[in-house]
Structure 1
């Protein structure tokens, strides 16, 4: 088993085929196939289901892939450190949608100033899926919600805390929170994520049977529907920071008592600990600048 075989395995998994991986590792398709077969021979197991076209990585292959990603990343960074090179490579980060528009891009810009040889790969998704990608080694880290189960192999560190806010259309100024919720149509955030569950729980606790007029699965569209005058909604503060002045009426939900926290999740043992520590620090600083610091 050598490093090139592991790099080839990672390339096949990332590109989805032997032919595409060949272009990434600068080999022929037959050479890629030979390397994978040699690796399987040394391990004594089959890593791909070759009854599928293209071949699909199997459960044993997934296990080997996690180890291969770690080894390849460690060796790349060790070479840089020994040669006196600067931190380089691709930092693969996941983020939920509400922080992918301002907070994470601003953090990447700050990181690039610190590590000019670093590049970034941003994946936007749901907290649970992003957590799985970090655990599997497909992502280096991810910004996810607090209320998700964190496996023992991962650590979660808070980077922001923000209030939930009741937002209404222009013209709804001066009305009480309960009046807005009882009288105006409600725009619901429908996803299987902690924030959506948190909002539903608080409405139930208040005894509010909201008159639902629209359902959508992204926060920008929730905010847009409110701005269009369709009704009211409950959103995290960071979701409407780009809203033009005068397009929303905003007030802290439950007088600011209801908050959500987001944090950076990463593997307990990671060869990228230095750069991820820097990323966590920058995310925390930018969150404070946006008024949603811990």
Structure 2
């Protein structure tokens, strides 16, 4: 009996997500394609691997056993990749990185530029992903590093099998029309209770931050504009038609005058996540060190924790 690893990885996705539709969405294929591959896997194993449990699909005992072994296989492949990388002479190979939107200009692009000059044989491939999808790709061994941002109110991700490497704590700042700054410093953010705001989509980190800050000051913000992306938020705030709470690094230099000084909020944490068995890979260690160097060179005040790259 020969089992297809790709089909077994689909079974792992099903165990985690609970439905063929959710697996298809994450894999960006059709539900019929996922169902076909899962049926083929059951045929290959000669066993029933999952059953419908209400509105979701649950693993049978056989399915659970196979999922456990697939995860062991993926872990062994990680160890093999790390060992091969360590045995090479020179720096070469491929590293797949995913990042949230602002992590690309802040961290990944400068890191890739530095590596291209110093280590041209190391190929870094980048894709922009949400935190949830990036972590899923990382666990499926389709990524090597996931760069994530997390707000203080976000639930922590499952740390099983993963190493979270802190990169920086990025402050959140208030952007407001210049003629309001003195009043805000005197009265607090409540001075903007009747003013229009620009923030992110409902339930986004930016929108939730604004709601919590305003709630603590005793008002409900009058949100007039909702945009996707911190850079777009800053651009609209720069017209001085609305105030905004934005990540500090998203504010272009030409708009820094709009930041209300001496008014600060909790920071969001930016980290690089790798699988436990890959943390000793020389190429991954190199990429992480370059990311730390980019932070140290551009925002040294945001580094609050020591480097934890495995040696």
Pick the aligned partner of 1:106 from 106, 110, 113. 110
2:134 aligned with 1:127, yes or no?
no
CA distance in 2 between partners of 1:96 and 1:246 (Å) = 22
- Using structure 2 for the length normalisation, give the TM-score: 0.67
CA, structure 1 residues 283+193, in 2 after alignment: closer, same or farther (shift >3 Å)?
A: farther
Partner deviation per Cα, 1:224-279 (whole Å, 9 max, x = no partner)? 21123331100010111xx2525751125x73342221111122222664333332
2:269 aligned with 1:261, yes or no?
yes
Question: Is residue 86–residue 281 contact of structure 2 (8 Å, CA) maintained in 1?
Answer: no
Question: Which moves more between the two structures, 198-207 or 276-285?
Answer: 276-285
CA distance in 1 between partners of 2:214 and 2:93 (Å) = 46
CA distance in 1 between partners of 2:136 and 2:77 (Å) = 20
2:246 aligned with 1:245, yes or no?
no
Deviation of residue 189 (structure 1)?
A: 1.5
2:244 aligned with 1:233, yes or no?
yes
Structure 1, gaps ≥5 residues long: 18-32, 48-58
- The correspondence of residues 147-186 of structure 1 with structure 2, limited to 5 A, is 147-153=154-160, 154-169=162-177, 172-176=180-184, 177-178=188-189, 181-186=192-197
CA distance in 1 between partners of 2:6 and 2:280 (Å) = 18
Partner deviation per Cα, 1:107-144 (whole Å, 9 max, x = no partner)? 22223445432212222222233222222322212111
CA distance in 2 between partners of 1:218 and 1:65 (Å) = 37
How many residues are aligned here?
263
CA, structure 1 residues 267+192, in 2 after alignment: closer, same or farther (shift >3 Å)?
A: farther
CA distance in 1 between partners of 2:191 and 2:286 (Å) = 43
Deviation of residue 7 (structure 1)?
A: 8.5
What residue in structure 1 maps to residue 216 of structure 2?
Answer: 205
CA distance in 2 between partners of 1:100 and 1:189 (Å) = 19
Deviation of residue 104 (structure 1)?
A: 1.4
Question: Is residue 85–residue 283 contact of structure 2 (8 Å, CA) maintained in 1?
Answer: no
Question: Is residue 169–residue 268 contact of structure 2 (8 Å, CA) maintained in 1?
Answer: yes
CA, structure 1 residues 136+9, in 2 after alignment: closer, same or farther (shift >3 Å)?
A: closer
What residue in structure 2 maps to residue 23 of structure 1?
Answer: none
- Using structure 1 for the length normalisation, give the TM-score: 0.70
2:224 aligned with 1:217, yes or no?
no
CA, structure 1 residues 272+121, in 2 after alignment: closer, same or farther (shift >3 Å)?
A: farther
CA, structure 1 residues 79+137, in 2 after alignment: closer, same or farther (shift >3 Å)?
A: closer
Question: Is residue 99–residue 238 contact of structure 1 (8 Å, CA) maintained in 2?
Answer: no
CA, structure 1 residues 191+86, in 2 after alignment: closer, same or farther (shift >3 Å)?
A: farther
CA distance in 2 between partners of 1:106 and 1:6 (Å) = 35
Question: Is residue 206–residue 245 contact of structure 2 (8 Å, CA) maintained in 1?
Answer: no
Structure 2, gaps ≥5 residues long: 10-23, 31-36, 50-62, 304-311
What residue in structure 2 maps to residue 285 of structure 1?
Answer: 293
2:98 aligned with 1:94, yes or no?
yes
Deviation of residue 287 (structure 1)?
A: 1.8
CA distance in 2 between partners of 1:283 and 1:261 (Å) = 14
